[in-house]
Structure formats: structure tokens, C-alpha cells
Amino acid sequence: MKRYTLLVAALLAFYNLPAMALDLGIDSASIEGGYSPNDDGDVGMTRVGVQWDWGVKWFETSSLYLGGYWDAQAGWWHSGDDDIGDFSITPVFRLQANASSGFVPYAEFAVGAHMLTEKNITKHRVFSTNFQFGDHVGAGFRFGDKAEYDLGYRYQHLSNASIDTPNPGINFHELRFTYHF
């Protein structure tokens, strides 16, 4: 039941987000889902987020550029009877085609900070710290008349970078949809 309540709350937040985003300087909002196939039980994940574009175009050519954005997210992991809340802030670098409409492909990479509400998600996957680093690589494309829609795939790894042991880490395959205001 918790999962459906969170999903409904996220959809309602998305409905009102464009009006709130203008006041906060938010450039886009996202929703993503993923899973982590594990020997000790699969882990499902859902997140919602907001993004602030850096407004820079490094190494710009006629065909592409390197840009970036801040990605702030709140999420939820679930496996069996275990649930974890996940709050993160991540600087994301994106190599993108230099176009403002149509089909605009991109690749991205990032390393950010995550704070988990619990330390275990399955019987055998116990993290030693609530603080985790999250890095990802991804690819996707923006589309629409103003490239306002964004659909992408991410492969994400979370671990504490050996701050403490055990450090089992976890990997997620994620599908993400973003709307740019």
C-alpha cells in the first residue's frame, strides 16, 4: 500500500510542479523507476526529482556541447518487507547534441551524495553507513517541439566508498522521464 500512496503523491506533486517551479527557479522535474537484481532478493526503486540547469555550454561545437545540472531527488527502495528512503543531491554532466528541438540525444555521468533512512534492504545486504555515494552513467534523448521531454536510461552504483565496512554497494538499472519547463 505504501508504494501506491507514494506514487499517487508523486503524480499529484507533478501536477502542481510547473507553478511552484517558476518561483523556485527549477528548470525541470523527473520521475524514475528501477530495479537491482540481487542474489539475496531484487530491490525495486522509485524516485521523483527536480533539476536546476547550470546554463553553461563547455567545449561547444556546431554539433554538441558539455553542460550540466543539479539533480535533487527523493526516493523509495523496496524488497520484501524492507523499505528505505533515499534523499540525494547530484551534480550531473551531460554531453548533448547542440539542438533545441526535435530529437536530441545525450550521454551523461555523475557522482553525488545520498542519505538513506535505513541501513538494510534485504536480509544479507546491510550497509554500514546511511551516507552513500551514488554514481551513474546514462544515455537518452530529449524530444518535442521545444525538446521539453526527456527519456533516458541510467546505470547507477551506490556505495560508501569504503568509509566503513561492510560496503556491499548496490547497482540499479533505471528508466527516467523528465519534463523541462
Write down the pTM of the prediction.
Answer: 0.85
8 Å CB contact between 43 and 78:
yes
pLDDT at 1: 56
pLDDT at 119: 92
Using CA atoms of 161, 50, 31, 46 in order, give the dihedral in degrees to the nearest 10.
Answer: 40
Average pLDDT, consecutive stretches of 10 residues, N- to C-terminus, the chain (181 residues): 58 54 81 89 94 96 97 95 94 94 95 96 86 98 95 97 90 97 94
pLDDT at 16: 55
Q: What is the tens place of the pLDDT at every residue in 33-45?
A: 999 987 777 899 9
pLDDT at 100: 84
Longest dimension (CA), the chain: 52
- Find where cell 554532466 sits: 93
In CATH, what number does 2-180 get?
Answer: 2.40.160.20
3-state SS string for 103-142? CEEEEEEEEEEEEECCCECCCCCECCCCEEEEEEEEEEEE
Domain ranges of the chain: 2-180
Q: What stretch of H or E contains 156?
A: strand 149-159
pLDDT at 13: 58
Tell me the CA distances in angstroms from 143 to 31, 32, 44, 52, one per residue in order. 16, 17, 27, 19
pLDDT at 3: 57
pLDDT at 38: 78
- Residue 21's nearest CA partner among 122, 172, 148, 110 is 148
- Phi, psi for 62 (deg, rounded to 5): -70, -20
8 Å CB contact between 119 and 109:
no
pLDDT at 70: 98
